[in-house]
Structure 1
Amino acid sequence: MDSAEYAPFQEKVIAAVLNVSRTVGQLASEDLNFHRSSSSDFTELLDEESERVLSLTSAVLKAATNGTDLQAPKLKDEDSIEDNWRGVVDVIDSLLEKADACLDEFTGVIKKLSPSQEEQAPIARKTTKFPTIYDYGPSKIPKPQLLFDQKVDNSDLGPFRPLLKSKPHAIVPLEKSLQTQQIDGKEGYPSPYDTEIRAAQYQKPVYENSPPIDYLPFEDTTATFVDTLDGVKEMLEELKEAKEIAIDLEHHDVHSYHGLVSLMQISTRSKDWIVDTLKPWRQELQILNEVFADPSILKVLHGSTMDIIWLQRDLGLYMVGMFDTFHAASALGYPKRSLKYLLQKFVNFEADKRYQMADWRVRPLPTGMFDYARSDTHYLLFIYDNLRNELIEASTPDGNLIDYVNERSQNEALQRYERPVYDETNGHGPGGWYDLLTRNAGVLSKEQFAVFKAVHKWRDEIARAEDEGFQCVFPKHMLFRLAQTMPLDMGSLLRTLSPMTPITKERIDDLLDTIKEAKVAGLTGPEWRDIAPPPKYAPKPIAVEDADFPIAERYEKSQFWGNTLDFPQPAAPLEYSLAASTEALRLSLPLPPMPSTVAEARQKFVDVKMEPISSPKAEPSPVATPEAPEEKKVFTVKELGGPRKRKVTPVDQPEKDLLTLDGFDHDSMDEESEAKQRKKARKERKAQKAREAAQAQADSTPFDYGAADSVLHAPSAQAPGMQSKHKRAHNPYLKALEAPSGVRHGKREIAGKSVTFRK
């Protein structure tokens, strides 16, 4: 699938995912528990669908973890999903990392591993267990780079100097080729074979249509494993006699910061070689430039983008006169350009990718991995013959497709390896944080963004020092988890990084200090959304002139408050300035107009004098008020209450003129009750006279606040000459005990989910 076909496919996938997400969201918003209780048929159907979804999810998780060290979580019911959610997230993260690697390989940014193929041999299928690269813990295989004659130095950030010691088939001498110059605004070394690659042209047989040469049967031939320098020299003598050779590489980049070329596969028409490129003398393989740089020998590769970089970075090898079958398939307009597709089309061979993610550092190579690597180049020359004939047939006088492939292959061969320099500020470049955040959408605050950048840089520094891949320090999902949680104590940090790699465990204190410092510095830093690129699928803004909907306008008058806020401004100058908050409150609430001066307030408001009550018989001054209909009084009838005390209304009439007492008929009382009521009335009148005398004295004498008693413990007011009696403290809850008991509490409602029904 090329880029032209991938774009519409990606749009379809995104549209399907959005529809599924929207449907799931709508289902989640409904009250399924209510519908479950309303219909038994619906309940059975819902349970069946739940079991089906769980079984499908378990099958997908099992397939995703097949061939990896991850254990597929078992999902039996809804509770098991929550209990095993962390395992599900780990599987999803692993799939996303694989998808990133595949997309990078497809676009040519990187090449995780070469698209190796395997012959369907019975002996290869017997091998089911093999070391994989998805082991992010300590390397179970001793690091071969520790034994290299030229030690790996990941701290060198200067321009990469080519490893060449000699230059076979040179047009420009080696000394002149190794001079620095300005390249893309930076000082660096050009390709030592720049002139030779541009001047190379295909030999005459490449432009001639001839029958393809059949490949030798895979089962009847064997490959030679080359792991000595003498074996390399013997192979070189045979390669010099060939007219076309096929080349492929196997690469490992998990337990190495820059990566390692682990194997080199070379095939002629009659023989295959597997070269061990992890030997201490690996740079002695530069002698192969006698063939690789010879323009008269055609080098056939498929998808050589990263192969060219790896060869010059690790081995100092360059390609002059290369034919890339990927560009040949592109020129012919094939629906697919992968080596798997070409093998199936021309050889009728179905590739098996069980060993694509194998750890190619293992020695000795298992039989299955050996045959898998050999099949990469065994059929490639036969595929080249078929592509060459089709290119010749499809060529026109105006455009020769062979020249097109030559031009594209030369551009691949002219690539230069540059050391990745960590860009802390902008995060650009291979392994930078910018591309990582762009691919993983999320909202990070200032502190979280600062912690993410600091921890990402810390991980890069540790990986460089230990010559390990980023994943071996801690994987990508751990990086995002640290940025979101920002643990500030050792316990939280250990829980966040669980399970922890030994490399991180040895430096856990340094990591904790890094997080603390970054969080403090992030308080004044930017957020990720301030520098994030706009979403790729964000809706385009609609121009105002193209819009078919009404444009919102601001009304001069409130449509809600009406004229409430419209009041005339005072003509007199204000004696004080209004604060901004008061003005904002006036604009938002319907406050009445307030006077601006004291004089205006006196004119607007009339002072009302409150006359002190001198006696119970004092009557209020008549005020002319409109008669209003008598309102119905609300009263409460209390039953089963205790006896209530009668109130006595004080009057100035003589006792003999009283016809009723406290609402009771005087004639209906006996003599003893009447005597008690009269005695109580006399006491009330004496107390009232005492209060009036005290009030009159208080009005005539100024109150002395200095000599006043404490407000907290003020004595009760008594009439002069009366003896002080100890009175029982008032209990406000006393009468509450006489009230009837309330309704009993019903059955306690069980806490649960509240439901709102739609009408």
Structure 2
Amino acid sequence: MDSTELAPFQDKLSSALVQVTRTVGQLSSEDLNFHRTSSADFAESLDQQSERILALTSAVLKAATVGTDVDAPALDTEESLEDNWRGVVDVIDSLLEKADACLDEFTGVIKKLSPSQEEQAPVVKKAPYFPTIYDYGPSKIPKPQLLFDHKPDNADFGPFHPLLKTKPHATVALEKSLEQQQLNGAAAHPHPYETEIRNAQYPQSVYQTCPPINFLPFEDTTATFVDTMDGVKEMLEELKQAKEIAIDLEHHDVHSYHGLVSLMQISTRNKDWVVDTLKPWREELQILNEVFADPKILKVLHGSTMDIIWLQRDLGLYVIGMFDTFHAASALGYPKKSLKYLLKKFVDFEADKRYQMADWRVRPLPSAMFDYARSDTHYLLYVYDCLRNELIEASTPEESLIDYVQERSKNEALQRYERPVYDAEKGQGPGGWYDLLSRNAGMLSKEQFAVFKAVHQWRDEVARAEDEGWQCVFPKHVLFKLAQAMPLDMGTLLRTLSPMTPLTKDRAADLLAIIKEAKIAGATGPEWRDFAPPPKAPANMAEPDMDHVDFPIAERYETSQFWGDVLEAQELSAPVSYSTAASLEALRLSLPLPPMPTTVSQAREKLGVSANTETTSAPKAAPVPASAPEEPKYFTVKDLGGPRKRKVAAAVTPDQEVSTPDSLVESINEPDSTEKQRKKSRKEKKAKKATQSGSQSEADSTPFDYGAAESILNVPVASAMRPQPKRTFNPYAKALEAPSGARKQKRDDAGKSMTFRK
């Protein structure tokens, strides 16, 4: 194609892409789900167009990958697009690389090799992207647990029995240490090495300061991948000769209910090992207890809380004489305690933590993942040397920080693995619904709470049956969506679960039935707030026996203790229309005011006044004579809309009688007569006051003689001789001589006085 032909083609292609983008934006803004449910024809047409677009996309991807090493992903459904999105990105990346190479060749930046040179040139393949645990679809790697000699039993809720067959370095016999006991009110096996761990002490070298032993260069150190029993035995013989070893694990818990120890890294001062712990004979690795349980050999780990649990659960390994660098960093008051921080501080090594989320079940292990795994233990002994010296320097005769680290490390090593038992009623225990709800605050109704518990239990049962993690069924945010939506038909359920995992898709009908039953049962069931948190025991006390603890019972009053019976519905005394009743009910809910009397008799009862009581305190209005002139038919409302000051009520004089509730009732019935009485009272007061002031003015009625008054024009000499104050200089005097501005016009507000006809 010539350069002259490229410009029109580019313009045509750009306009087509812009039009497609606009159309997609318009479609995304429409409520397609609503239209799909409202019209079956529209839903069928939409599905046909979706299938056509997927077919076209698959054809384009296949055409783009012809003659390349990239495989085109198969797009059969909308869910497959999300599952194979990484494959689509790979195809697009390969196209962009081709376009980049062609442009470089066209501009002369690079020159294309001859055919003979191309055949001789080595083929460099792009390094595959490492698999991550964020792939919650079907496991693309065959499950290794299906080949174990002892397959995991997720339906076993009994006490965990240690895997130990022998007990090296024992002070208590294996048979006695495995006797079943009552621990925390339940039958369980004690820790097999509890006595040995408590009695163990660090070697004397740990309490002595010495220069850190430099680590060997990473590239020059021998690293061995151990995947046979012969390799394990050879490694064991070398480990017995060491004084300190570093240990770390890589764990996988997405495609396994309980989780799997996938790798174990062990390092000495001179060598690194990476042990494959996914072999069928993995339980035979407990022969390493000859080193792990030897108190003379120091075991250095970082953040060993879960490592101790995983070692005894999967491999039957127990650690004696452990030094946890996490507790050492805590004793020294470091701002961060992570292994990444310690490696950066002492070694200046930047760990690539993206491999922390890799799928460690993949075999063969990629070189980048292998190097990351061994780096966790390769530098750890050097970090231990630096921390040990700082701990000794910071210690005092009264307090040894080395002993502090030893006690904390012993507590970590004394942990026991217990199988998680699902408590459907109270939701307690690891993986229960109670912890999930307490950490995600939100008010759920009775029905929603019942659906949440039922769906949570259903998800746990499916995960156990398929030996998958909970997130492979559906993540927790979908669990909350199901509880809030409570779908009762298959269409709503599928939209709520979108995107749907294969495990849920195959069991959608069962899930829908669970939701329907839970919603019906929840109408009369408990609420989330009725469940009180269990009491927490102090750190120095054992956990309480939950079967003998009196939990507080939440009670609810029938009447509000603050508002009383104000919020109760009031019966209407007269029949009213439906709209009027609805308005009154809305007003009652929005403004919870006490009920007001609607008749005079109700007002009397509210005030505690009898209906037969005679009202003698309030003067009644005099009857208007027949010959009285007719009152004007106009009245004026003054100062309408303006701010009005509240007039102070006149003080009650002794000769005035105090009004009684009866007068109040009559004032309600005869407002006009009461107003007339008030006006008459005011006129009488004014007339009385005028009479008093008149008698006083007659006594002081002597006229003022202006002729005999002193002149104020002739100032006395004494006052004239007074020193006049000095006039101060005003720098702004000239500025003040400017013409004054226009005065503010007085606003004449409309409506100040209005006259109305009666």
Question: Which of the five TM-score ranges fits, normalised by the shorter chain?
Answer: 0.5 to 0.7
**Is 1:589 aligned with 2:597?**
yes
Distance 1:585 1:409, change over 3 A: closer
- 1:254 counterpart SS class: coil
Does structure 2 conserve the Cα–Cα contact (< 8 Å) formed by 1:207 and 1:392? Answer: yes
Q: Deviations over 1:248-283 (max 9, x none)?
A: 000000111110000000000000000000011100
Hey, what's the Cα distance between the residues in 1 that align with 2:345 and 2:29? 44
Q: Deviations over 1:186-240 (max 9, x none)?
A: 2211110111111111111111111111101012223100111111111111111
Q: Deviations over 1:491-517 (max 9, x none)?
A: 211111112111112211211111111
**Is 1:455 aligned with 2:455?**
yes
Q: Deviations over 1:103-161 (max 9, x none)?
A: xxxxxxxxxxxxxxxxxxxxxxx957211001111111111001100011011111111
Hey, what's the Cα distance between the residues in 1 that align with 2:533 and 2:284? 46
Q: Deviations over 1:417-475 (max 9, x none)?
A: 00111111221221111111122121110000000001001101111111100000111
Letter in 2 for 1:403: D
Distance 1:625 1:262, change over 3 A: farther
* Counterpart position of 1:646: none
Hey, what's the Cα distance between the residues in 1 that align with 2:324 and 2:562? 63
1:335 Cα offset (Å): 1.4
- 2:357 counterpart SS class: coil
Distance 1:440 1:554, change over 3 A: closer
**Is 1:354 aligned with 2:354?**
yes
* Counterpart position of 1:282: 282
1:530 Cα offset (Å): 3.2
Distance 1:218 1:481, change over 3 A: same
* Counterpart position of 2:163: 163
Does structure 2 conserve the Cα–Cα contact (< 8 Å) formed by 1:158 and 1:419? Answer: yes
Letter in 2 for 1:190: P
- 1:266 counterpart SS class: strand
Q: Deviations over 1:72-113 (max 9, x none)?
A: x99x9999799999xxxxxxxxxxxxxxxxxxxxxxxxxxxx
Hey, what's the Cα distance between the residues in 1 that align with 2:386 and 2:627? 114
* Counterpart position of 1:211: 211
* Counterpart position of 1:295: 295
Does structure 1 conserve the Cα–Cα contact (< 8 Å) formed by 2:444 and 2:527? Answer: yes
Does structure 2 conserve the Cα–Cα contact (< 8 Å) formed by 1:127 and 1:368? Answer: no
Hey, what's the Cα distance between the residues in 2 that align with 1:366 and 1:310? 24
Distance 1:328 1:78, change over 3 A: farther
1:382 Cα offset (Å): 0.4
* Counterpart position of 1:56: none
Distance 1:554 1:459, change over 3 A: closer
- 1:516 counterpart SS class: helix
Does structure 2 conserve the Cα–Cα contact (< 8 Å) formed by 1:438 and 1:532? Answer: no
User: Which segments of 5 or more consecutive residues in structure 2 lack a partner in the other structure?
Assistant: 1-20, 34-125, 535-560, 565-591, 615-624, 635-758
Superposition map of 1:279-428 within 5 A: 279-428=279-428
Does structure 1 conserve the Cα–Cα contact (< 8 Å) formed by 2:422 and 2:429? Answer: yes
Normalised by the length of structure 1, the TM-score is 0.56
- 1:246 counterpart SS class: strand
1:185 Cα offset (Å): 2.1
* Counterpart position of 2:266: 266
Does structure 1 conserve the Cα–Cα contact (< 8 Å) formed by 2:202 and 2:298? Answer: yes
Distance 1:81 1:313, change over 3 A: farther
Letter in 2 for 1:300: V
* Counterpart position of 2:147: 147
Hey, what's the Cα distance between the residues in 2 that align with 1:305 and 1:200? 19
**Is 1:185 aligned with 2:193?**
no
- 1:593 counterpart SS class: helix
Does structure 2 conserve the Cα–Cα contact (< 8 Å) formed by 1:180 and 1:190? Answer: yes
* Counterpart position of 1:195: 195
Hey, what's the Cα distance between the residues in 2 that align with 1:207 and 1:321? 14
Does structure 1 conserve the Cα–Cα contact (< 8 Å) formed by 2:351 and 2:372? Answer: no
Does structure 1 conserve the Cα–Cα contact (< 8 Å) formed by 2:302 and 2:326? Answer: yes
Q: Deviations over 1:268-309 (max 9, x none)?
A: 000000000001110000100011011111110000000000
Range that drifts further, 585-594 or 254-263: 585-594
Task: Please tell me the root mean square deviation across aligned C-alpha atoms, in Å.
Answer: 3.3
**Is 1:134 aligned with 2:134?**
yes
Q: Deviations over 1:504-555 (max 9, x none)?
A: 1221121111111110111111222333669xxxxxxxxxxxxxxxxx9999
Hey, what's the Cα distance between the residues in 1 that align with 2:599 and 2:127? 86
* Counterpart position of 1:239: 239
1:589 Cα offset (Å): 2.8
Hey, what's the Cα distance between the residues in 2 that align with 1:629 and 1:393? 107
Letter in 1 for 2:437: L
Q: Deviations over 1:682-726 (max 9, x none)?
A: xxxxxxxxxxxxxxxxxxxxxxxxxxxxxxxxxxxxxxxxxxxxx
Superposition map of 1:540-555 within 5 A: none
Hey, what's the Cα distance between the residues in 2 that align with 1:282 and 1:483? 41
Letter in 2 for 1:406: Q
* Counterpart position of 1:474: 474
How many residues in Structure 1 have an aligned counterpart in Structure 2? 451
Letter in 2 for 1:520: I
**Is 1:441 aligned with 2:441?**
yes
* Counterpart position of 2:702: none
Does structure 1 conserve the Cα–Cα contact (< 8 Å) formed by 2:162 and 2:316? Answer: yes
Letter in 2 for 1:297: I
Hey, what's the Cα distance between the residues in 2 that align with 1:413 and 1:407? 10
Hey, what's the Cα distance between the residues in 2 that align with 1:341 and 1:586? 65
Q: Which has the higher contact order (CA 8 A, sep 6+)?
A: 1
* Counterpart position of 2:496: 496
Hey, what's the Cα distance between the residues in 1 that align with 2:209 and 2:249? 29
Letter in 2 for 1:589: P
Distance 1:524 1:237, change over 3 A: same
Hey, what's the Cα distance between the residues in 2 that align with 1:343 and 1:147? 37
Letter in 1 for 2:383: I
- 1:588 counterpart SS class: coil
Hey, what's the Cα distance between the residues in 1 that align with 2:333 and 2:131? 38
Hey, what's the Cα distance between the residues in 1 that align with 2:364 and 2:397? 53
Hey, what's the Cα distance between the residues in 1 that align with 2:145 and 2:165? 21
Hey, what's the Cα distance between the residues in 1 that align with 2:408 and 2:294? 18
Hey, what's the Cα distance between the residues in 2 that align with 1:445 and 1:586? 29
Distance 1:214 1:456, change over 3 A: same
Hey, what's the Cα distance between the residues in 1 that align with 2:506 and 2:323? 49
Hey, what's the Cα distance between the residues in 1 that align with 2:221 and 2:30? 55
User: Which segments of 5 or more consecutive residues in structure 1 lack a partner in the other structure?
Assistant: 1-72, 86-125, 535-551, 556-583, 605-622, 633-759
Hey, what's the Cα distance between the residues in 2 that align with 1:518 and 1:586? 40
Letter in 2 for 1:303: G
* Counterpart position of 2:465: 465
- 1:354 counterpart SS class: helix
Distance 1:235 1:625, change over 3 A: farther
Hey, what's the Cα distance between the residues in 1 that align with 2:415 and 2:307? 10
Normalised by the length of structure 2, the TM-score is 0.56
* Counterpart position of 1:112: none
Does structure 2 conserve the Cα–Cα contact (< 8 Å) formed by 1:225 and 1:276? Answer: yes
Distance 1:173 1:450, change over 3 A: same
Q: Deviations over 1:656-694 (max 9, x none)?
A: xxxxxxxxxxxxxxxxxxxxxxxxxxxxxxxxxxxxxxx
Hey, what's the Cα distance between the residues in 1 that align with 2:202 and 2:29? 61
Superposition map of 1:338-737 within 5 A: 338-531=338-531, 587-593=595-601
* Counterpart position of 2:730: none
